[in-house]
Amino acid sequence: MAISLEETIRKHTLKNAHDYKLAIPGKIIGKVIGEWPDSKNDMKGTMKLLNEEAKRVNALSVAQMAEELKEFIFKEKKEEKKEIELPGAVQGRVVTRFPPEPSGYPHIGHAKAAWLDFEAARRYGGKMLLRFDDTNPEKEKQEYVDALKEGLLWLGIDWSEESYTSDRMEEFYTSADELFVKFSAYVCTCSGEEVKKGREAKKSCDCSARDAEENMALFRKMREGKIEEGEAIVRFRGLMSDENSVMRDPTLFRIIKAPHYRQGEKYKAWPSYDFVAPIMDSLEGVTHAMRTKEYELRNPLYFAILKSLDLRAPRLIEFSRLAIKGAPISKRLIAPLISQGKVQGWDDPRLPTLLALKRRGILPEAVREFVLSFGLSKVESEPGWDSLLSCNRKILDERSMRRFFVKNPVKIEVHGAPQKEAVLKNHPGKQEMGERRIATSGSFFVGASDLESIPIGETFRLKDLYNLTLVEREDGNMKFNFEGQEGLAAKKIQWVPVESAVSCKVMVPKDLLDEDGNFVQDSMVIEIGVCEQSCLELTDGACVQFERFGYARLDKKEENGLVFIFSC
Ligand code: ATP
Ligand code: MG
């Protein structure tokens, strides 16, 4: 996807400054014209943009420059598109599945898995199934099923069939009986502690000697709820001396008496993930089962279960689990943050859930581009949010109207100012996005930090309006003189007329977790300010670019002003 002229200028200016320690516009212009031939038609305008950018970049510290440049290096790397290759794939016959447990709202890690499953199937003209792996009644809810489906639809992912693992409980019970008969499983009535000790000592317990009939009878009692939770489990006969602890007679069923959101009170013996995943994949005709790398040690168990039931084995493919610095990408980590009231809910903008991303104006296209950039690689990495945000910025740049937002506003009066209507373009490069008109009479809100940087006697410009000079600054009292409509002024600042200013708050989400994974108290920064009156016309959910601040999405309109969430 092409980036805008401004972004192209930014990229080459940063590269030039990085290579030569100082950005020199004369050396950069050729590269810019190379990518944007039309910019030649307005050489004056292009040079002006370039000179301004060079000035900005030359004032950055080396670290800031490197940070900005990272964004572009990432983009270039990403453009070498990673194809998804599946071993042994037959065109038209590939079946993949996305198997979430409905135990929470979907997050960006789910987006990675789902996009890989979906794109792999699409590449080979096959299909992707959606399967709810719902065999833990204590954690699962219909609300989460609905949220997962909505999340997928928001991403733009469609599935061909939808199934629920808990709908096949009777078949799992039959399979268990088959394993008892084959002496491949047994009911273990040891305590949890004893089971753990046995595994550590690599020693079998007496239960493993039970015969098929006794096992079947005990299992029936487990199913009928005649045995209490924790008093019996079904174990697969693996190998207690195996180096891989997963194979030391793992659990296939445990007793859970809590009602199930879909099956009600019908079942009391619930199969484990290890048991249902291979069976479901096999029964549902999955050809390529993809899962994250941390399951790798469980692969031998996956195949051993299928073998002992004489079921066809799909291929297993691993990819790395998505991690982002400072973000809890796991339902297990997110749920407690919500129940402890540390974040507001599943859509708190600091979270990596899809709802939160949507709320802060991260577009599904950007999520897709970001997660697919890792492909099926198994390399573990922990990028920051930057790369996702830069994908997003590139897309928002094209679509977002520009608006003025003044942070920490200070009221000023311009002496001798005319009544003037400013005509501002909604987008610098897109005529078709129109313009807005703002009436002014000489009283403005401008940003406190902008004012601080202006020395007495300096002429500066209210962007797209007129020039003024700061003539006096005494005890916090400042005087400004009108200087005329035209003429160059080095510094341009955003403004909002006092008469029509709208109160506005921008919530800026920061990293939620520190390096040790602890919750960061002040991870939500609230910027207070004013914005243009035209922002009142935005519909909830609209994204704008607050110039020199960033992209923000309108979250809600409150009685005393607008609330935005900073996007990127
Ligand atoms: P969680 O900790 O969020 O519960 P999970 O792996 O138990 O993670 P599931 O709902 O069971 O979550 O996962 C559905 C699919 O999404 C699985 O194939 C899982 O591997 C994948 N997945 C979950 N989290 C990530 C992640 N961070 N990166 C990549 N894939 C993920
Ligand atoms: Mg899970």
Distinct helix (H) and strand (E) counts, the chain: 16, 25
- Which band of pLDDT confidence, cut at 50, 70 and 90, is reported for residue 255? very high
- Which band of pLDDT confidence, cut at 50, 70 and 90, is reported for residue 74? low
Query: Which amino acid, residue 107?
Result: H
Determine which residue's CA is closest to atom 5 belonging to ligand 1: 330
Please work out whether the CB of residue 461 comes within 6 Å of at least one atom of ligand 1: no
What pLDDT digit, counting tens, does each position of 293-315 carry?
A: 999 999 999 999 999 999 999 99
Q: Decide if 84-325 and 408-497 have a common fold.
A: no
DSSP 179-215: HHHTTSEEEE-S-HHHHHHHHHHT---GGGG--HHHH
Tell me which of 3.40.50.1860, 3.40.50.620, 3.40.50.300, 3.40.50.2000 is the CATH number of domain 84-325: 3.40.50.620
Determine which residue's CA is closest to atom 18 belonging to ligand 1: 291
Please work out whether the CB of residue 113 comes within 6 Å of at least one atom of ligand 1: yes
Our mutation pick for probing the ligand 1 site, out of 155, 276, 292, 295, counting the most ligand atoms within 8 A of Cβ, is 292
Please work out whether the CB of residue 332 comes within 6 Å of at least one atom of ligand 1: yes
Q: How many CA atoms lie within 13 A of 381 on its CB side?
A: 11
**Alpha carbon of 460 to ligand 1 centroid (Å):** 53
**Alpha carbon of 97 to ligand 1 centroid (Å):** 13
- Which band of pLDDT confidence, cut at 50, 70 and 90, is reported for residue 75? low
- Residue 375: how many other CB atoms lie within 10 Å: 17
Mean pLDDT of 95-113: 98
Q: Which atom of ligand 1 is nearest to the CA of 290?
A: 18
Architecture of the domain made up of 408-497: Beta Barrel (2.40)
Tokens at 232, concatenated:
């019996």
Please work out whether the CB of residue 151 comes within 6 Å of at least one atom of ligand 1: no
Which residues make Cβ contacts (< 8 Å) with residue 534, sequence separation at least 6?
Answer: 403, 436, 438
**Alpha carbon of 386 to ligand 2 centroid (Å):** 27
Length of the chain: 568
- Which band of pLDDT confidence, cut at 50, 70 and 90, is reported for residue 2? low
Q: Which atom of ligand 1 is nearest to the CA of 114?
A: 16
Tell me the pTM. 0.85
Residue 334 burial class via C-beta count within 10 angstroms: exposed 0-12, middle 13-18, buried 19 and up: buried
Neighbours of ion ligand 2 (CB under 5 A): 101
Reply yes or no on whether the pLDDT at 427 is more than 70.
yes
Q: Please list, residue by residue across 227-238, b when 16 or more beta carbons sit within 10 angstroms of its beta carbon and e when fewer do.
A: beeeebbbbbbb
Residue 365 contacts residue 105 (beta carbons within 8 Å):
no
Please work out whether the CB of residue 314 comes within 6 Å of at least one atom of ligand 1: no
CA distance 224 to 176: 15
Look at 63-72, 153-162, 185-194, 405-414 and tell me which has the smallest mean pLDDT: 63-72
Q: Kind of pairing, strands 550-558 and 543-546?
A: antiparallel
Please work out whether the CB of residue 100 comes within 6 Å of at least one atom of ligand 1: yes
Please work out whether the CB of residue 131 comes within 6 Å of at least one atom of ligand 1: no
Domain spans of the chain, in order of start: 5-81, 84-325, 408-497
Please work out whether the CB of residue 318 comes within 6 Å of at least one atom of ligand 1: no
Please work out whether the CB of residue 308 comes within 6 Å of at least one atom of ligand 1: no
Tokens at 327, concatenated:
């973000």
Cα 232 to the chain's mean position, in Å? 41
Mean pLDDT of 541-557: 97
3-state secondary structure of 318: strand
Tokens at 556, concatenated:
């809600």
What pLDDT digit, counting tens, does each position of 229-254 carry?
A: 999 999 999 999 999 999 999 999 99
Q: What angle do CA 140, 193, 136 make, to 5 degrees?
A: 10
- Residue 81: how many other CB atoms lie within 10 Å: 8
**Which ligand approaches the C-alpha of residue 281 most closely?**
1
Q: Which atom of ligand 1 is nearest to the CA of 332?
A: 2
**Alpha carbon of 113 to ligand 1 centroid (Å):** 7
Tokens at 306, concatenated:
């299928």
Instruction: Say what angle helices 386-399 and 62-79 make with each other, to 10 degrees.
Output: 80
Longest dimension (CA), the chain: 100
Instruction: Say what angle helices 273-283 and 169-181 make with each other, to 10 degrees.
Output: 100
The dihedral formed by the CA atoms of 221, 226, 230 and 233, expressed in degrees to the nearest 10: 0
Query: Which amino acid, residue 212?
Result: A
At 87 the pLDDT is 96
What pLDDT digit, counting tens, does each position of 454-487 carry?
A: 999 999 999 999 999 999 988 778 999 999 887 7
**Alpha carbon of 136 to ligand 2 centroid (Å):** 10
At 128 the pLDDT is 98
Determine which residue's CA is closest to atom 8 belonging to ligand 1: 330
Phi, psi of 10 (to 5 degrees): -60, -45
Please work out whether the CB of residue 438 comes within 6 Å of at least one atom of ligand 1: no
At 475 the pLDDT is 79
Reply yes or no on whether the pLDDT at 16 is more than 60.
yes
CA-wise closest residue to 495 among 541, 533, 456: 533
**Which ligand approaches the C-alpha of residue 320 most closely?**
1
Please work out whether the CB of residue 293 comes within 6 Å of at least one atom of ligand 1: no
Please work out whether the CB of residue 109 comes within 6 Å of at least one atom of ligand 1: yes
* Active site residues per annotation: 101, 321, 331
Which residues make Cβ contacts (< 8 Å) with residue 557, sequence separation at least 6?
Answer: 536, 540, 563
Instruction: Say what angle helices 25-35 and 5-20 make with each other, to 10 degrees.
Output: 140
Look at 37-51, 234-248, 280-294, 357-371 and tell me which has the smallest mean pLDDT: 37-51
Q: According to the 3-state scheme, what is the secondary structure of 367-404?
A: HHHHHHCCCCCCCCCCCCCHHHHHHHHHHHHHHCEEEC
Average pLDDT over the chain, rounded to whole? 94
DSSP 491-502: -EE--EEGGG-E
CA distance 128 to 119: 9
Helix (H) or strand (E) holding 227: none
3-state secondary structure of 483: strand
Our mutation pick for probing the ligand 1 site, out of 96, 101, 110, 159, counting the most ligand atoms within 8 A of Cβ, is 110
Instruction: Using the structure block, give the residue that is written with the tokens 């009911």.
Output: 187
Determine which residue's CA is closest to atom 27 belonging to ligand 1: 109
List the alpha helices (DSSP H) in 385-472. Answer: 386-399, 448-452
Percentage of the residues of the chain whose pLDDT score is greater than 70? 98
**Alpha carbon of 110 to ligand 1 centroid (Å):** 6
**Alpha carbon of 466 to ligand 1 centroid (Å):** 55
Reply yes or no on whether the pLDDT at 76 is more than 60.
no
**Alpha carbon of 145 to ligand 2 centroid (Å):** 13
At 1 the pLDDT is 44
Please work out whether the CB of residue 75 comes within 6 Å of at least one atom of ligand 1: no
CA distance 157 to 74: 25
Reply yes or no on whether the pLDDT at 78 is more than 60.
no
**Alpha carbon of 273 to ligand 2 centroid (Å):** 8
Determine which residue's CA is closest to atom 13 belonging to ligand 1: 100
Contacts 24+ apart (CB under 8 A), 210-219: 210/186, 212/180, 212/181, 212/183, 214/187, 215/180, 215/185, 215/186, 215/187, 216/177, 216/180, 218/187, 218/189, 219/173, 219/176, 219/177, 219/180, 219/187, 219/253, 219/269
Determine which residue's CA is closest to atom 31 belonging to ligand 1: 109
At 528 the pLDDT is 98
Strand boundaries in 200-286, DSSP class E: 233-236, 251-255, 269-271
Residue 39 contacts residue 33 (beta carbons within 8 Å):
yes
